């Protein structure tokens, strides 16, 4: 029999514990999950290590008293494991599955098990982003799931937030929620949270009845994640101009030129997302002003050119 590595065994163990209608004994788990040692002390120790690993990574393996000689059974209740529907599109779901494999199991070989989470293989996916390991992310997912308020340091300030949802947009994770200190909805980029958030009791988050979390995350990524807004003018050539105007609306056009190009004016609060959007247009777009944003793109391109040599 081919050797089963521990990552594959952990993945199989999670799937079995999630899909059982009743608690399973250690003997039953050893019979259906490949990779456990033969029955005896070695199997028990291996299972205890796996159970501890899963719990340390936030996967709630429940121990329940059952009838029979073993007296203890184990399972993962779906309502404890799964998040509420986050309404992710296919690319966002793929990114979430990658984040689960990377962050929860902490092993690059986790990519080999992604097909078990609904993704055939990495080779079949266009890269979404290079996802960092974010310590705050599992804490925030749990806060959203349990409707618990969160406190964290963000850009040098302590923030007290009732979380509403998490989204993956343009290569970054964002938390949308109601900021108690500012008495208003806010969006936070998760990688800019300092340290680990602390959470209140389940149910402690009290979102206003009229709070629209989806509206807090606008379609234009350059409006997500910061609070200082400034106008940015972008020149788009005649080839891409009509598509960009269709995307942004006629109200975004500040100038139409004789050669068919257009100048659009965007209200930008997230410069990194704007730069990503402009670079995706390639040679068809150019930031005209302000000069600091234009310089930021020049610096990014210079750094990319230098790193690719």
Segment 148-176 shows an average pLDDT of 84
What's the confidence (pLDDT) of residue 158?
93
Q: In the structure, what pLDDT confidence band is assigned to residue 255 with cuts at 50, 70 and 90?
A: very high
The model's confidence at residue 309, banded by pLDDT at 50, 70 and 90, is very low
8 A C-beta contact, residue 100 and residue 58: no
Average the pLDDT over 204-208 and give the result.
Answer: 90
| Position 86 confidence tier, pLDDT thresholds 50, 70, 90 | low
Q: The CATH number of 6-81 is which of 3.40.50.10470, 3.40.430.10, 1.10.10.10, 3.50.50.60? A: 1.10.10.10
Question: Residue 34 pLDDT more than 90?
Answer: no
- 98, containing H or E segment: helix 90-99
Averaged pLDDT score across all residues of the chain: 77
Residue with tokens 């399972």: 75
Band of pLDDT at residue 102, cut at 50, 70 and 90 = very low
Q: How confident is the model at residue 2 (pLDDT cuts 50, 70, 90)?
A: very low
pLDDT band at 87 (very low <50, low <70, confident <90, very high): low
The residue written with tokens 């704007």 in the block is 274
pLDDT band at 124 (very low <50, low <70, confident <90, very high): very low
Name the more confident of 102 and 95.
95
Q: What is the pLDDT of residues 47-59, one digit of tens each?
A: 999 998 888 877 8
Q: What is the pLDDT of residue 26?
A: 92
Order of strands across the sheet that contains 172-179: 184-189, 172-179, 157-169, 150-154, 193-199
Length of the chain: 309
CATH 1.10.60 fits 230-307, yes or no: no
pLDDT grade for 130, boundaries at 50, 70 and 90? very low
In the predicted model, what is the mean pLDDT of residues 269-276?
75
What average pLDDT does this structure show over 195-207?
90
Residue 306 has pLDDT above 60, yes or no: no
What's the CA gap between 57 and 141, in Å, rounded?
12
Which segments of the chain belong to CATH 1.10.10.10?
Answer: 6-81
Which two tokens mark 210? 């009229």
The position carrying tokens 């796996």 is 50
d(CA 113, CA 122): 10
pLDDT over 80 at 108, yes or no = no
- Looking at residues 170-199, what average pLDDT do you find? 84
Residue 219 DSSP symbol:
S
Residue range(s) in the chain whose domain bears CATH number 3.30.70 = 230-307
């Amino acid at each position: 029999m081919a050797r089963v590595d521990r990552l594959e065994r952990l993945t199989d163990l999670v799937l079995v514990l999630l899909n059982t209608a009743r608690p399973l004994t250690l003997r039953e788990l050893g019979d259906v999950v490949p990779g456990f040692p033969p029955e005896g002390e070695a199997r028990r120790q291996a299972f205890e290590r796996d159970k501890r690993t899963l719990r340390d990574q936030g996967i709630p393996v429940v121990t329940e008293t059952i009838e029979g000689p073993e007296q203890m059974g184990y399972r993962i209740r779906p309502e404890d494991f799964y998040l509420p529907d986050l309404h992710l599109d296919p690319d966002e779901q793929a990114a979430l599955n990658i984040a689960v494999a990377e962050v929860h199991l902490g092993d690059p070989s986790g990519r080999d098990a992604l097909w078990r989470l609904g993704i055939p293989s990495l080779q079949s996916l266009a890269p979404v982003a290079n996802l960092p390991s974010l310590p705050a992310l599992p804490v925030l997912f749990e806060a959203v799931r349990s409707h618990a308020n969160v406190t964290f340091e963000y850009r040098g300030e302590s923030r007290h937030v009732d979380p509403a949802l998490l989204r993956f947009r343009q290569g970054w994770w964002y938390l949308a929620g109601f900021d108690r200190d500012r008495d208003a909805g806010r969006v936070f980029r998760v990688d800019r949270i300092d340290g680990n958030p602390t959470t209140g009791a389940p149910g402690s988050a009290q979102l206003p009845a009229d709070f629209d979390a989806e509206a807090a995350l606008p379609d234009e990524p350059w409006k997500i994640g910061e609070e200082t807004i400034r106008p940015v003018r972008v020149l788009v050539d005649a080839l891409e101009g009509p598509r960009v105007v269709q995307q942004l609306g006629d109200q975004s056009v500040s100038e139409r030129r004789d050669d068919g190009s257009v100048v659009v004016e965007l209200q930008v609060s997230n410069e990194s997302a704007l730069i990503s959007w402009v670079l995706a247009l390639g040679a068809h777009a150019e930031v005209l002003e302000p000069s600091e944003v234009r310089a930021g793109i020049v610096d990014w391109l210079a750094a990319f050119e230098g790193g690719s040599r």
